[in-house]
Chain A
């Protein structure tokens, strides 16, 4: 097995707001090995982005309470001081964000923003930093990089901006890249380009990638391992195959079933998950999915543990027995879903 880079243990993040305490992340634990692509899937409010940002120390604020442990190669990051954190950011773990337009500073040239990252960590001359920047832009597939380096973000197209963000992330040769919805704001053909680039970096540079997304298509395309989050908790984790072909948690069934798939002829109705995602201000007691789950029973008022129940490294948070799950999740022959659509 390859080296464990990142180890997150029982991470809890709470924010104090005017409306009350938001339990954004509620006991998340996972590991990331070198060279692996880990996808964290969930809907808005599932805590996936907060988890990722907390790893980088980006959620630190007087209103935030962060507990648990995030260790990078044994170094604890949650309690690290600013100086230590600065060295980890960019050098060890880099992050790119959903909207490349707003994530780049509009008043600086793209090249300068990348060079700034280099010069903040390495004492390079302006000239050297610029040369490195051009190399990076070329590496992420920006055409005519020696000219493009002097452009402002608004002169780039959406796809090129995301490439520039990735170049910035690669500037200090990190071992982990966290990509928070990197292709959500992009068009399909551009999304394909960006995913291909991430795959290539993962392969060629042995870069470990955490990809945060709500799109199971993106997950299927590039992930090795998947964490499914719901209401601040991981409710299922496993390999790509396990999650897609042997899902254990009813929420995962619901997600898979409610997708309108382009590779399938039009079915009459989509299988759907009823109701709304849980409020993080007052999450339901016990299993967070209980109010929306048609298979809930009395035991579900207690929080199910994230346990390995089938196969190696395939854990889920559901009280149903493995046999029950096998029958309940089939809504139609060959199709997995939460609930057969009502007639």
Chain B
């Protein structure tokens, strides 16, 4: 990655200083594979996140898509310093946090919260809803006693739960309601950034829409910034301003949501979109889907150069020899590919000129 940063344009500058809430540069997270007879030594690494850079602007929603094992969850956890990064930099509101210790992070933890996928596993079954939601408030010494209770009840009401259910246990709620509890907990400290890791994947369709709408309302109301992780491309398109597509630990495409969906540059993005069944039989019948062959390779031993070349219908020799850089193709639309697609439109042409080996397919 060079000096140019795959982030939003300067136009996105807001009144309160820097445009970017979060700046991630060359972030790497490797999980060592250990082996040995008596003393373990490292014999390899699962390259879960491998040299990833992106920015998140204040108030925007960055959608993160990719198949299982692409490193999107690890990326989130590393960004939030729930995992120690192997190398690289994470700046939150201009402060470098990647090397901070627990103590230094403590005040920042309030600003960054996470919502998890499984509303059944992520809530302590032995604690009451009031304790779960109020826990962070108490821990950070923000409220106690009756103030705490009132604040928690306000939060419950805000996420669409009955405030009188303050004393109930998580198992007394349905999946959608539990996810609301998780949202209330994340919201309690009035964070600036919420990382939502597959927040609706475990929910039924009719409940998904409720939760998505709730998250959008809260974003407006509390000026939240979201990193939204999902494997469901429909959900991602609906919630995101910009989208980052990951494949085997790398961001392969990054750009405004509508751009990525209507003019995908990377063949992987195209095949993801094409593989996704659309709930519209006529539209489905019209399109000619690209069905990728084979499985996603292991992140412990990713293919050399372009990691997608083993499954890519457009791959040529260069793809297995030179790793493509993430370059700017169009306004804010980045992609890492030797054979970029959809580059026919005129205003993109100049910016894409830099690449000699243009799309031939």
Q: A residues near B, CB below 8 A?
A: 43-44, 157-160, 187-193, 195-196, 214-221, 240-241, 244-245, 254-267, 269-274, 276-277, 341
Q: List residues of chain B with CB within 8 A of the CB of A263.
A: 261, 278, 280, 283
A214 to B205, Cβ gap below 8 A?
Answer: yes
B272 to A244, Cβ gap below 8 A?
Answer: no
CB distance from B293 to the nearest CB of A (A): 8
Bound form: Cα–Cα A258–B235 in Å:
11
Which of B207, B277, B280, B289 has the most chain A CB atoms closer than 10 A to its own CB? Answer: B277
B174 at the interface (CB under 8 A from A): yes
* Cβ proximity bits B250-277 to A, threshold 8 Å, 1 near / 0 not: 0000000110010000000001111111
Which residue of the partner chain B has the closest CB to A187? B67
A190 to B295, Cβ gap below 8 A?
Answer: yes
Contact among B176, B234, B257 with A259 in the assembled complex (CB-CB below 8 Å): B234
Contact among B176, B204, B232, B291 with A189 in the assembled complex (CB-CB below 8 Å): B291
Q: List residues of chain B with CB within 8 A of the CB of A215.
A: 277, 279
Q: List residues of chain B with CB within 8 A of the CB of A254.
A: 206
Bound form: Cα–Cα A263–B212 in Å:
18
B296 to A220, Cβ gap below 8 A?
Answer: no
Bound form: Cα–Cα A254–B296 in Å:
35
B206 to A272, Cβ gap below 8 A?
Answer: yes
CB distance from A201 to the nearest CB of B (A): 15
Q: List residues of chain B with CB within 8 A of the CB of A240.
A: 281
A214 to B204, Cβ gap below 8 A?
Answer: yes
A277 to B284, Cβ gap below 8 A?
Answer: no
A189 to B279, Cβ gap below 8 A?
Answer: no
B213 to A217, Cβ gap below 8 A?
Answer: no
B292 to A189, Cβ gap below 8 A?
Answer: yes
Bound form: Cα–Cα A159–B68 in Å:
12
B209 to A272, Cβ gap below 8 A?
Answer: yes
Q: List residues of chain B with CB within 8 A of the CB of A277.
A: 174, 204, 206
CB distance from B114 to the nearest CB of A (A): 21
Q: List residues of chain B with CB within 8 A of the CB of A244.
A: 279-281
A189 to B67, Cβ gap below 8 A?
Answer: yes
B216 at the interface (CB under 8 A from A): yes
Q: List residues of chain B with CB within 8 A of the CB of A191.
A: 275, 277
Which residue of the partner chain A has the closest CB to B279? A216
CB distance from B321 to the nearest CB of A (A): 25
B231 at the interface (CB under 8 A from A): yes
B279 to A217, Cβ gap below 8 A?
Answer: yes
Answer whether A260 and B279 are a contact pair too, CB < 8 Å, given A44-B204, A221-B284, A266-B258: no
Q: List residues of chain A with CB within 8 A of the CB of B289.
A: 192
Bound form: Cα–Cα A259–B208 in Å:
8
B97 at the interface (CB under 8 A from A): no
B315 at the interface (CB under 8 A from A): no
B358 at the interface (CB under 8 A from A): no
CB distance from B308 to the nearest CB of A (A): 11
A189 to B213, Cβ gap below 8 A?
Answer: no
Bound form: Cα–Cα A68–B234 in Å:
39
B205 to A187, Cβ gap below 8 A?
Answer: no
A157 to B280, Cβ gap below 8 A?
Answer: no
Answer whether A260 and B237 are a contact pair too, CB < 8 Å, given A265-B258, A269-B216: yes
Bound form: Cα–Cα A190–B278 in Å:
16
B150 at the interface (CB under 8 A from A): no
B138 at the interface (CB under 8 A from A): no
Bound form: Cα–Cα A126–B174 in Å:
49
CB distance from B100 to the nearest CB of A (A): 35
Q: List residues of chain B with CB within 8 A of the CB of A159.
A: 295
Contact among B236, B257, B279 with A256 in the assembled complex (CB-CB below 8 Å): B279
* Cβ proximity bits B270-312 to A, threshold 8 Å, 1 near / 0 not: 0111111111111110000101110110000000000000000
B99 at the interface (CB under 8 A from A): no
Question: 4 tightest A-B contacts by CB?
Answer: A217-B277, A258-B209, A260-B238, A192-B275
Answer whether A188 and B205 are a contact pair too, CB < 8 Å, given A216-B279, A274-B210, A276-B177: no
Q: List residues of chain B with CB within 8 A of the CB of A257.
A: 209
A188 to B258, Cβ gap below 8 A?
Answer: no
Answer whether A258 and B206 are a contact pair too, CB < 8 Å, given A191-B275, A192-B275, A215-B277: yes
Q: List residues of chain A with CB within 8 A of the CB of B216.
A: 269
Bound form: Cα–Cα A170–B48 in Å:
37
B348 at the interface (CB under 8 A from A): no
Contact among A192, A219, A270, A276 with B213 in the assembled complex (CB-CB below 8 Å): A270
Bound form: Cα–Cα A21–B239 in Å:
40
Name 26 interchain pairs, CB-CB below 8 A, sorted by A: A157-B296, A158-B295, A187-B67, A187-B68, A188-B233, A188-B276, A189-B67, A189-B296, A190-B67, A192-B274, A214-B205, A217-B276, A219-B279, A220-B278, A254-B206, A258-B205, A260-B209, A261-B237, A262-B233, A262-B234, A264-B237, A267-B238, A270-B238, A272-B206, A276-B177, A277-B206
Which of B239, B261, B271, B281 has the most chain A CB atoms closer than 10 A to its own CB? Answer: B281
Which residue of the partner chain B has the closest CB to A188? B275
Q: List residues of chain A with CB within 8 A of the CB of B295.
A: 157-160, 190
Q: List residues of chain A with CB within 8 A of the CB of B279.
A: 215-217, 219-220, 244, 256, 259, 261
Answer whether A187 and B237 are a contact pair too, CB < 8 Å, given A244-B281, A270-B212: no
Q: List residues of chain B with CB within 8 A of the CB of A341.
A: 213
Bound form: Cα–Cα A159–B67 in Å:
12
Bound form: Cα–Cα A85–B280 in Å:
38
Besides A254-B206, A258-B209, A260-B232, 12 other A-B contacts (C-beta < 8 A): A158-B68, A188-B67, A188-B233, A240-B281, A244-B280, A255-B206, A260-B238, A262-B233, A266-B238, A276-B174, A276-B177, A341-B213
